[in-house]
Amino acid sequence: MSLVQKWVIIQANSFMEITKIPAKILAKKTEKISIKAIKNGSYKELVLDMKKAMIDNVGIGLAANQIDKDLSIFIIDKNLALENAVPEVYFNPEITEYSKNVDEIEEGCLSIPEYGANIKRSKKIKIKAIDENGNKIKLKARGFLARVLQHETDHLNGLVIKDRFNESR
């Protein structure tokens, strides 16, 4: 199964409940986290819980507000991170640059079961964030990785794919 197929297939059996639309937490910008709190390990257990919830729900990424946490954290699939030599965990991410070249691919979302929509996204981005050790990071991403990072960053900014689909029509 490809990562794209895995991302679109959604299952609802998990020990940690995935927050679904129209929950208000999905429509608001999440709270930033202090580097000190990251460095002292305050979020390690939450990150482990998020990884488990993402795997249990066959996701390729998961934002904290998708498990009802008003925190600026998202995670991505371990294999996707390894294939692209990037971190799995992103605190306070901010996309700093979007390429003008876009493509349109069907996306799914754990917070909107059984819904898929063709979403236009930049093929390349630059993103800055804090990794799970409290280090500031900057990286470039392209292709599927760029798409996943944009999708998860959207969540932390209060946007879901239905918002993106509606704005592109």
Q: Tell me which residues are annotated as active site.
A: 152
- E strand intervals along 14-115: 61-63, 73-76, 89-98, 102-108
Instruction: For residue 59, count other CB atoms closer than 10 A to its CB.
Output: 27
Q: Which residues contact 123 (CB under 8 A, 6 or more apart)?
A: 99, 101, 102, 103, 142, 143, 146
